[in-house]
Amino acid sequence: MTDFHKTPSDVRHARVLAVRAILAERGLSALIIPSADPHMSEYLPVYWQGRAWLSGFTGSVGTLVITHDFAGVWTDSRYWVQAPIELDGTGIELQKMEHSCPTYAQFLADNLPQGAKVAIDGAVLSMAEFDGLSQAFAERGMELVIDTDILGQIWQDRPSLPNALIYVHDETFVDTSAKQKLIQVREIMTQRGATHHLVSGLDDIAWLTNLRGADVNFNPVFLSHLLITPDTVTLFVHDDKLTDTAKSALSVAGIDVAHYDSVAERLGDVESLLFDPAKVAVGTLTHLPKTAKLIKAVNPTTVLKAIKSDNDINHIREAMRQDGVALCEFFAELEDKLAQGERVSELDIDEMLECARSRQPNHISASFDTIAGFCGNGAIVHYRATDERFSYLDGDGLLLIDSGAQYKNGTTDITRMAGVGQISDDEKRDVTYVLKAHIALATAHFPKDIPSMQLDVLARNQLWQQGLDYGHGTGHGVGYFLNVHEGPQVISRTAPVTPERIMSEGMITSNEPGLYREGKWGIRLENLVVAVKAHQSEFGEFLKFEDLTLCPFDTRLILPHLLTKQEKRWLNDYHKRVHDELIGRVDGQAKAWLVERTQAV
């Protein structure tokens, strides 16, 4: 994986100067480089990682703005510790995304002259962002220039687009055919009066076609667009990437194939287009007739794929057992190495986890970069150890491990804490309160179709009572052998309420409250849960969560006297279930570790 942080800061500063030279030459006042590709993906092929290449900031969220006398990266609280480290020496400043600070659009509107021209590559600018920028700039008479790619002019050794093979998701794990899924989508198109539906979200396309790929790190997706009409379906993709079985599967589903770059032209005769403005780039719509009716809405597939079938959930339960076995083997090995006095680094954690998981059936890859942060590194929410910057597990402290895997039968994501040496009561107290927050959400009952963000307070309140808090959300949706971050549901107090962001039976979501003390330690405890029926009453239908993740919490890191009887009962019941589900699948050190770590408190 390319690591742009290795590039010296003076080289990145020179790249900023090169941008400014082009801005001056073309009469432009600023350049915006978002973290985006034409599909608005979270994880980007290296070809579209322009913000990281220019700035050195490698977080998954961030927007780089360069003017003639200023350069800054706007990012959220997950990266406020990481960003200054990676931006050091570049002349690029961290700009915090929070309510009290201006957005990058507001900053430009406030600081650029009347009528200024601001460049951004339309190929990676969503229609939603375009509308927002246009509105912000309108009062100042500022112009958004979207037909120029300044980055392409200075990135001389820019990597080529990925070209991994596209394959069929094993039918053993597929519950609904592509034909059946297309019928569901077309019904929604008819309801909304659309003659055409454009899908650019890569996970939406992979789910709808029952195909998988490897064009994006950690996400089994492939670069493509999909255009659906009442009678035809066209997949825009580099066809040399399709295996013979993939071509056959597309044919059976009634899906034609066209070149990846031809999607814009194909929109030239559209009457009414249904598309998700947050997932389609303005550049993709350049040939759309001015008379076309635009129906802007969340992709139907986004909601459909979020609700897993009973068969999907059963496959995911098995993937969790497999992952649980791998984690038992990993933790047993880690504790043995430490007990033997072997020196272990944060980088070793990633290798050990991947090795353990790769022995499991249907394993494909990690589902994201492993986060293994010891002591103060754990307080960097999305920390990633690199060859240039990592720590050994020397001395005393907490180790945060956030990791996951892609299996053909499910996607996993888990965070656990491990103790190295002597752990202080202050550290244990923080771990215990995060565990209380985790249990509060795990045991919740809630009305069906409740806005998902409203559940955030259930976990966070446990920390608020102690004057504690954390900056990220409490939960995100998770795909089925797809993206580890999946909408529409999100458990976050800052997420806007939308009709699609509701909790429904069959949705898989993370439960991951945290607590971070900069320079000292970070704590996060995460399970994946599925929403299931709880009970029905005269007040309506209620749901609850079933834990899917199977891995003990280290009870040596908690203060039991801070737990209520109900919380202890939940913890003991959970550990008994983990023991019973996994004990017949492990042996040796892993079995002994599992037995020891699932003892009742």
Residue in this structure with the two tokens 């958004």, named with its chain if needed: 144
Tokens of 416: 């656990």
Contact between 121 and 51 under an 8 Å Cβ cutoff? The reply is: no
Given a cut of 90, whether residue 547 has pLDDT beyond it is yes
What pLDDT does 3 receive?
59
Q: Are residues 75 and 219 in the same domain?
A: no
Tell me the pLDDT tens digit for each residue of 221-241: 999 999 999 999 999 999 899
Q: How far apart are CA 515 and CA 537, in angstroms?
A: 37
The reported pLDDT for the residue numbered 412 is 98
Task: Tell me how far apart the alpha carbons of residues 283 and 47 are, in angstroms, rounded to a whole number.
Answer: 17
Is residue 161 in a domain? no
Do 280 and 319 lie in one domain? The reply is no
Residue 370 sits at the vertex; the CA angle it makes with 369 and 371, to the nearest 5 degrees, is 115
Tokens representing 29 are 């006042």
DSSP run (H or E) holding 330: helix 310-339
The confidence band for 10, taking pLDDT boundaries of 50, 70 and 90, is confident
Measure CA 477 to chain center: 9
Residue 162: inside a domain: no
The domain boundary residue, chosen from 256, 281, 304: 304
Residue 521 has pLDDT above 80, yes or no: yes
The tokens for 573 are 């019941």
Percent of the chain with pLDDT over 70: 99
> What is the per-residue pLDDT for 9?
82
> Domain boundary residue among 304, 336, 365?
304
Indicate whether 374 and 429 sit together in one domain: yes
Asked if pLDDT for residue 453 goes beyond 90, the answer is yes
In the structure encoding, which two tokens stand for residue 66, read together? Answer: 């360069």
Pairing of strands 167-168, 211-212: antiparallel
Give yes or no: residues 171 and 209 share one domain: yes
Helix (H) or strand (E) segment spanning residue 547? strand 540-547
Distance CA 556, CA 33 (A): 46
Query: Which residue is associated with the tokens 């002597």?
Result: 422
pLDDT at 487: 93
Peptide bond preceding 230 in cis form (omega within 30 of 0) = no
Q: What pLDDT was estimated at residue 6?
A: 64
571 and 439 Cβ atoms separated by less than 8 Å: yes
pLDDT of residue 148: 87
pLDDT tens column, 415-438: 999 999 999 999 999 999 999 999
User: Over 60: is that where the pLDDT of 1 sits?
Assistant: no
How far apart CA 267 and CA 285 sit, in angstroms, is 7
Q: How many CB atoms lie under 10 A from the CB of residue 432?
A: 21
**Structural domain contains residue 193:** yes
Q: Are 45 and 136 in contact (CB under 8 A)?
A: no
Could you tell me the residue range of the domain that residue 85 belongs to? 4-154
Q: What is the structure's pLDDT at 32?
A: 97
Together in a domain, 585 and 459: yes
Start-to-end CA distance of the chain, whole Å, equals 42
**Same domain assignment for residues 101 and 192:** no
Three-class SS state of 451: strand
Q: What residues contact residue 138 under an 8 Å CB cut-off, 6+ apart?
A: none
Of 182, 240, 242, the closest CA to residue 208 belongs to 182
pLDDT at 2: 61
Assign 389 a pLDDT band (cuts: 50, 70, 90). confident
Residue 388 has pLDDT above 90, yes or no: no
For the segment 58-62, the average pLDDT, to the nearest whole number, is 88
Q: What is the pLDDT confidence band of residue 12, given thresholds at 50, 70 and 90?
A: confident
Computed over every residue of the chain, the mean pLDDT equals 95
* Cβ burial 171-208 (10 Å sphere, 16+ → b, else e): eebbbbebeebbeebbebbeeeebbbbbbbbbbbbbbb
Candidates 208, 271, 203; CA nearest to 234 is 208
**DSSP for 96-131?**
E-STTS--HHHHHHHHSPTT-EEE--GGG-BHHHHH
- H/E stretch holding 135: helix 127-138
| Domain C-terminal end among 304, 333, 359 | 304
CATH of the domain at 121: 3.40.350.10
Q: Is the pLDDT of residue 471 over 80?
A: yes
386 and 476 part of one domain: yes
- Type of residue at 437: A
Residue 494 has pLDDT above 80, yes or no: yes
Q: Is residue 510 part of a domain?
A: yes
Rounded Cα–Cα distance for residues 57 and 96 (Å): 14
Q: What is the DSSP letter of 309?
A: -
Q: Tokens standing for 363?
A: 């394993």
Q: How far apart are CA 399 and CA 371, in angstroms?
A: 10
Q: For 157-179, write each residue's pLDDT tens digit.
A: 999 999 999 999 999 999 999 99
CATH value at residue 510: 3.90.230.10
Structural domain count, the chain: 3
Same domain, 266 and 349: no
Q: What is the 3-state secondary structure (H, E, C) of 188-203?
A: HHHHHCCCEEEECCHH
CB 391 within 8 A of CB 377: yes
| 97 within some domain | yes
Q: Which of 208, 207, 210, 235 is nearest to 223 (CA)?
A: 235
Cβ atoms of 23 and 66 closer than 8 Å: yes
State whether 212 and 105 are in the same domain.
no
Whether pLDDT at 558 is above 70: yes
Could you tell me if residue 249 is inside a domain? yes
Residues 415 and 388 in one domain: yes
Quick one: 145 and 185 in the same domain?
Answer: no
Both 262 and 389 in one domain: the answer is no
Distance CA 435, CA 136 (A): 42
Report pLDDT digits (tens) over 78-110.
888 889 988 998 899 999 998 889 999 999 999
Q: Which of 57-61, 216-220, 284-288 has the lowest mean pLDDT?
A: 57-61
